[in-house]
């Protein structure tokens, strides 16, 4: 790892004097050539840089690799290695079969999937309509935007929110995991600033042709906004999948636990496999624990490439745009 990075890095190309910084501030455009005015880094500086980057990356990759490998390792190798393996020699799915035979993991995966899917759809609906309606000079537009932005400044507090959910009769209902998350001010800002950049002429001309605001939103604005809808949708989905505290607050019934709460009780707090998952543990408990971690991890790893493709754009429209 270290050698490949340090070998690949010093590749000065003095033939071209192009600057590496983009001319447009909005896009991160990279140019692989070192500009002529830039001196070659000293070996010491280069080593420190490489070390920082390699250590930081390793600290992220190694734990994940360790967990995945250990969940796949068979018991002989585990026993020999004393608990953890970096690479499974004879990969086996025994641990996964065991956790999926018990009722708890499958059930909580189902809960998490339901909350994530329904939550994301509702959240996109609320956010898109709200963002579009306030992205044009509309009656009451400004006070509504200010009312949203105020939520960034001040939080109503844990206890009143809890009492509200209780008052609505949502305790121990999956809706208590969905409804509080269906609108986020940050996502609203991202979406709205995107909508505001859609040329007014386009919308006015559709209006002159007699299109209603709904038609304009669905037929003109949304087709132009696929990227931002994808980003915001993925942000919401990741948020719903990852949310743990709402479940801790509002859900007592074990059959309605999302995967994160299961993970907390079983892995972080270390309740036994029998009460934690409703199974009797046959493979080593280490690989069972790891398998639960992996089950919560995999969906995120699966959407990560899509997220990564778009998120910089989304984050930057919300944050840096003046």
Partner 1 sequence: MNQTTEAAPALPAAGNVPAHAEGRPSPGKGKPAKASAPRTPAGKQGFRSRLRRDKQMLLMMVPGIVFLLLFFYIPILGNVIAFQDYQPYLGIGDSLWVGWQNFVDLFDNPDFLQAFWNTLYLAAWQLVFLFPVPLVLALIVDSLISVRIRRVFQSIAYLPHFLSWVLVIALFQQMLGGAGFINNSLRQFGLDPIPFMTNPETFPVLVVAQMIWKDAGWAMIIFLAALASIDASLYEAAAADGAGRWRRLWHITLPGLRSVIVLLLILRIGDILSVGFEQFILQRDAVGAGAAEVLDTFTYYTGVVGGGWSSGAAAGLAKGVVSALLIFAANKLAHRFGEDGIFAKKVG
Using only C-alpha atoms, what is the Rg of the chain?
25
Residues 109/295, Cβ–Cβ less than 8 Å: yes
Question: Quick one: which H or E segment has residue 296?
Answer: helix 285-319
For residue 13, give Cα distances in angstroms to 18, 29, 188, 304: 10, 18, 44, 33
282: left (phi over 0), alpha (psi -120 to 50) or beta: alpha
Between 208 and 223, name the residue whose CB sits nearer to partner 1: 208
Contacts of 15 (CB under 8 A, 6+ apart): 33
CB of 278 to partner 1, least distance (A): 19
CB of 99 to partner 1, least distance (A): 15
CB of 274 to partner 1, least distance (A): 18
CB of 309 to partner 1, least distance (A): 11
Between 278 and 313, name the residue whose CB sits nearer to partner 1: 313
Which among 301, 176, 182 has a CA at the least distance from the CA of 236?
A: 182
CB of 90 to partner 1, least distance (A): 20
Joined together, the tokens standing for residue 84 give 């953890």
Alpha-carbon dihedral 13, 16, 20, 21, rounded to 10 degrees: 160
Between 94 and 292, name the residue whose CB sits nearer to partner 1: 292
Between 110 and 270, name the residue whose CB sits nearer to partner 1: 270
CB of 80 to partner 1, least distance (A): 11
Q: Can you tell me the distance from the alpha carbon of 263 to that of 242, in angstroms, rounded to the nearest whole number? A: 11
Q: What DSSP string runs through 193-206?
A: HHHHTS-HHHHHHH
CB of 148 to partner 1, least distance (A): 7
Q: How many CB atoms lie within 10 A of CB 244?
A: 18
């Amino acid at each position: 790892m270290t050698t490949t990075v340090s070998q690949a890095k010093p590749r000065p190309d003095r033939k071209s004097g192009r600057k590496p910084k983009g001319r447009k501030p909005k896009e991160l455009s990279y140019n692989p050539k070192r500009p002529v005015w830039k001196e070659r880094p000293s070996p010491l500086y280069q080593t420190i840089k490489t070390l920082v980057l390699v250590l930081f990356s390793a600290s992220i990759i190694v734990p994940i690799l360790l967990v995945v490998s250990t969940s796949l390792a068979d018991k002989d190798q585990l026993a020999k290695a004393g608990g953890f393996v970096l690479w499974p020699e004879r990969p086996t799915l025994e641990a996964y079969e065991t956790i999926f035979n018990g009722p708890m993991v499958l059930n909580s995966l189902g809960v998490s999937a339901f909350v994530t899917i329904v939550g994301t759809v509702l959240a996109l609906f609320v956010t898109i309509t709200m963002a579009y309606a306030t992205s044009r000079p509309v009656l009451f537009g400004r006070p509504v935007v200010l009312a949203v932005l105020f939520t960034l400044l001040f939080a109503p507090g844990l206890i009143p929110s809890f009492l509200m959910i209780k008052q609505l009769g949502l305790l121990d209902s999956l809706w208590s995991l969905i409804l509080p998350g269906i609108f986020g001010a940050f996502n609203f800002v991202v979406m709205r600033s995107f909508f505001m950049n859609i040329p007014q002429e386009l919308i006015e001309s559709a209006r002159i042709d007699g299109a209603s605001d709904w038609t304009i939103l669905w037929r003109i604005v949304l087709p132009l906004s696929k990227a931002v809808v994808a980003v915001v949708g993925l942000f919401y989905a990741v948020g719903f999948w990852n949310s743990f505290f709402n479940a801790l607050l509002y859900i007592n019934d074990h059959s309605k636990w999302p995967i994160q709460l299961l993970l907390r009780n079983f892995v972080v707090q270390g309740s036994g496999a029998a009460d934690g998952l409703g199974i009797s543990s046959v493979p080593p408990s280490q690989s069972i624990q790891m398998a639960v971690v992996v089950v919560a991890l995999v969906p995120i790893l699966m959407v990560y490439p899509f997220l990564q493709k778009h998120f910089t754009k989304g984050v930057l429209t919300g944050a840096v745009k003046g």
